[in-house]
Structure 1
């Protein structure tokens, strides 16, 4: 009888296959971190709501690989899960790679970003990809703690998972991202020496700095400048 690969061995193979599309330093990071690969208990206690953008595992590809895996994004933990032999595994965040869900027409990219002054890695949805700057979207789900009942005043409320408003980020060639500022003045500062040209272009074409569609057009114009 042929020996069967256990789930852990399959997971390690998956890690190594990801590293093949990374820089050498990232390959080493993924390989040496593989011993801490984490499994997820799919039968854990259910909360009200969901931690997933899409509850079902869907076919997805890692970077430029041909192999298709069953995956889903956990927006509460900011983790990408891969289903292998009825168990889910987290993909590592030690490499800047992408996940493509063709059925959703959606691509997730791993980027470095700052949150509360701490540098982290996370998954971002590609809104527009350019040669100089790109536009990304961050999906997030928050856990709201349970509210105990107060005798004669309130009833018990269970813990809930709720989706927050998506946030837009500006991405750069070095795989870093910063949150898009809320006002036009600060957004224009991102274009530094080209800010006047961008402002004139936006005004001429009646473009705002709030909608994704207008921002895509502005970013595309900026990337066309020399």
Structure 2
């Protein structure tokens, strides 16, 4: 079984590329490449955090690799999986179609290159329904917003802060992605299913097109 060592300095690591004076250095272990990223330290304070999995590093499982891997967390602002070695943070290289399971969180992230809205995109998506017919994904994203300036001399300026963007739900078929439908009419076209049949299912199950559990239930229905 392959082992994945995310920059464990006790093992033999060969340098693939390095630039003098650069903070980004690429290393390789057996068959896995890791990017050693040290994010630039901010001189100002940012409120909140960019992690949709929480600040804690969690156990993960990656199919085809040893279970003895570093704990990870997802940085939704940078769209990167982070791990820690000593006091330094590093990013994991994004391998296409690599699935990273967080058992304790009951979440699976997949690193994908895909087409959406006529453009080629790449990054981590949360896998909600995995099916050859129709799959369902969720894109999580954090943005960094500017804090407000104080209007008087008695209060301090508000810090910049992380804010979670509205999750984007995507339906995938044949590697093409489309936004999850808003209603029965859109769903009928996207899923190529009879509108009356779909309408009956939606009404009898009280499907809400804006709620994740109902989205999952709907995709699982059209996959039958």
Give the TM interval when normalised to the shorter protein. Answer: 0.7 to 0.9
TM-score, normalising length: structure 2: 0.73
**1:39 lines up with 2:37 in the alignment:** yes
Query: Any idea what SS the aligned residue of 1:59 has?
Result: coil
Query: Any idea what SS the aligned residue of 2:46 has?
Result: coil
1:125-144 aligned within 5 A: 125-144=126-145
Aligned counterparts of 2:151 and 2:170: Cα–Cα separation in 1? 42
Structure 1 partner of 2:20:
none
Query: Any idea what SS the aligned residue of 1:56 has?
Result: coil
1:137 offset after TM fit, Å? 1.9
User: Retained in 2: the 8 A contact 1:11–1:89?
Assistant: no
User: Retained in 1: the 8 A contact 2:126–2:137?
Assistant: yes
Unaligned runs of 5+ in 1: 18-30
User: Retained in 1: the 8 A contact 2:96–2:111?
Assistant: yes
TM-score, normalising length: structure 1: 0.73
How many residue pairs get aligned? The number is 203
User: Retained in 1: the 8 A contact 2:96–2:113?
Assistant: no
1:161-180 aligned within 5 A: 161-174=162-175, 176-180=176-180
1:66 offset after TM fit, Å? 2.5
Residues 61, 221 of structure 1: alpha-carbon distance in 2 compared, 3 angstrom cutoff: same
Q: CA RMSD in A?
A: 3.2
Residues 212, 154 of structure 1: alpha-carbon distance in 2 compared, 3 angstrom cutoff: same
**1:13 lines up with 2:13 in the alignment:** no
- 1:17-68: per-residue Cα shift (whole Å, max 9, x none)? 3xxxxxxxxxxxxx6xx6xx34124865541110112111111122332333
Query: Any idea what SS the aligned residue of 1:190 has?
Result: helix
Unaligned runs of 5+ in 2: 1-9, 17-25
Residues 183, 201 of structure 1: alpha-carbon distance in 2 compared, 3 angstrom cutoff: closer
